[in-house]
Amino acid sequence: MARFTKLTVLNKMHATGMVPVFYHKDAEVAKQVVKACYEGGVRAFEFTNRGDFAHEVFAEVVKFAAAECPDLALGAGSIVDPATAALYIQLGACFIVGPLFNPEVAKVCNRRLVPYTPGCGSVSEVGFAQEAGCDLVKVFPGDVLGPKFVKGLMAPMPWTNIMVTGGVEPTEENLKSWFQAGAFCVGMGSKLFPKDRVAAGDWAYVTEKCKEALGYIEKLKH
């Protein structure tokens, strides 16, 4: 069962403005990355369902986070079908994210009052997701659609809450383009976790990168 309510999770995403997106097959590495992000100020973290037995890694990380990162909402990403969504919710996922919109996933999440953030690439998809009860939609891939898409969508649908993922970088210039366009929050992956830094176990680098990005976002929101 999720450790936080739907409203609490969405508020964490909005308050910090950034959700790190990460996967690693080694649970110990994943734990260290989650902890490093938490120490950098992150309060919502997306573990992606990318490899074989990813749910087993997630189960370990959830238990670790409950003890070591008490205010962290840990969610599952890359979810495309309702069975996988149900599996991760059972393991304690606080939110579900997908690269696409599947209304059957929305039903599973809504039944348990867990936020579902589906990937949408058109204004109509965003509308369909909102009809299915999605409070936060993911504009994906962000680097293909661009800030102009976000700004254009927000004009006729200003009530929309958008998380941009894909092509988001921890630089002031990049983050400015998304938040000025109207983003609710951003999802950030490889730019926060360069492979060589993760391989070297340089968790201090990850913490500093999170602090830096969150600092830019804080400035942009005021």
Q: pLDDT tens digits for the chain (222 residues)?
A: 899 999 999 999 999 999 999 999 999 999 999 999 999 999 999 999 998 999 999 999 999 999 999 999 999 999 999 999 999 999 999 999 999 999 999 999 999 999 999 999 999 999 999 999 999 999 999 999 999 999 999 999 999 999 999 999 999 999 999 999 999 999 999 899 999 999 999 999 999 999 999 999 999 987
- pLDDT reported for residue 213: 97
Q: How far is CA 150 from CA 74, 96, 102, 163, 164, in A?
A: 26, 21, 21, 10, 9
* Cα–Cα dist 184/5, whole Å: 18
Cis peptide before 115 (omega within 30 of 0): no
- Spatial neighbors of 84 by CB under 8 A, at least 6 apart, are 49
- pLDDT reported for residue 165: 96
Which of 195, 184, 192 is closest to 153 using CA atoms? 184
* Cα–Cα dist 25/175, whole Å: 29
Cα dihedral 123/190/106/163 (nearest 10): -40
| Cut 0.85: pTM above it | yes
DSSP secondary structure string, 186-222? EEE-TTTS-HHHHHTT-HHHHHHHHHHHHHHHHHHT-
Which of 106, 95, 109, 98 is closest to 43 using CA atoms? 95
- pLDDT reported for residue 67: 98
What domains are there in the chain, each with its CATH number? 6-216 (3.20.20.70)
- Spatial neighbors of 197 by CB under 8 A, at least 6 apart, are 205, 206
Which of 202, 163, 195, 200 is closest to 179 using CA atoms? 163
**Paired residues of 75 in beta bridges:** 46
- Crossing angle (nearest 10°) for helices 203-220 and 172-181: 40
